[in-house]
Amino acid sequence: MTGILEGKSVIITGASSGIGRATALVFAREGARLTLADVSKEGGLETVKMAQDLGAEATFIATDVSKSKEVEAMTAHAVATYGRLDCGFNNAGIGGPGRLTHEYREEEWNRVLAINLTGVWLCMKAQITQMLEQGDGGAIVNTSSIMGLTGAIRVPAYTAAKHGVAGLTKAAALEYGSKGIRVNAVCPAPVYTPLLNQAFVKRPDIEERYKRSDPMKRIGEPEEVGEAVAWLCSDRASYMNGHPMPVDGGYMAQ
């Protein structure tokens, strides 16, 4: 039985760990041909090996998504390797420091926005250009957050960037839907990732608070987000466009 992404050429950013790695492995299982990108070469190559162990074709290119030349090189690498580009999962991001809005430093704000929002736009720009040249459509999924759908304290830059990703997703979906290019986003609630796990070690009370606030009384696994991304990228989601989709255990239903 073939996978739902059989033969599709896919770019995944932020692929060295967390949601990016988990999604890469779901895509590998579903038959995708992977171009994996991250600033961390060691982690990225580990993900490549894991995907190859599942029988997938996979390659890695070190990429800082806040730099347009590196994003363009990443896209060109995918096309040179597999001949085309069918899907992009623009997932690379950082959390940024926890401060109140008036305490945030300008350089901190600029860095979070450069990676979490401008980086998504740069990736979309390159991917859409390639898909338009091919002329037969494609699918893009961006990582937003439930903080892109609601407010949160002490993370003003992250919240603003993730709202921006949700809005950018909708704008692009309207612009390119008629060209067969679907653009959606996933909006995860807290998910067990290396970054969040480190925070839980320091503050176990935060983990318990997250669990209490979720209708399913647990925290998500990165693979659960990966499954949603795989579906959105597949032809099974052919009428899904412009949707920032919560993957949140029902948090946003409250």
Respond yes or no: is residue 158 known to be catalytic: yes
* Sign of the dihedral through C-alpha 4, 6, 11, 14: positive
The closest of 244, 236, 105 to 186, measured between CA atoms, is: 244
Helix residue ranges per DSSP H, 177-236: 194-202, 204-213, 222-233
Residues 6+ apart with CB under 8 A from 197: none
- Cα–Cα distance, 13 to 71 (Å, whole number): 10
Residue tagged active-site, from 9, 16, 144, 145: 144
Respond yes or no: is residue 144 known to be catalytic: yes
Burial label for 92, CB within 10 Å (0-12, 13-18, 19+), is: buried
- Cα–Cα distance, 13 to 119 (Å, whole number): 10
Residue tagged active-site, from 82, 145, 162, 234: 162
Q: Are 19 and 144 in contact (CB under 8 A)?
A: no
Residue tagged active-site, from 104, 158, 192, 210: 158
Respond yes or no: is residue 178 known to be catalytic: no
Burial label for 5, CB within 10 Å (0-12, 13-18, 19+), is: buried
Annotated catalytic sites, by residue?
Answer: 144, 158, 162
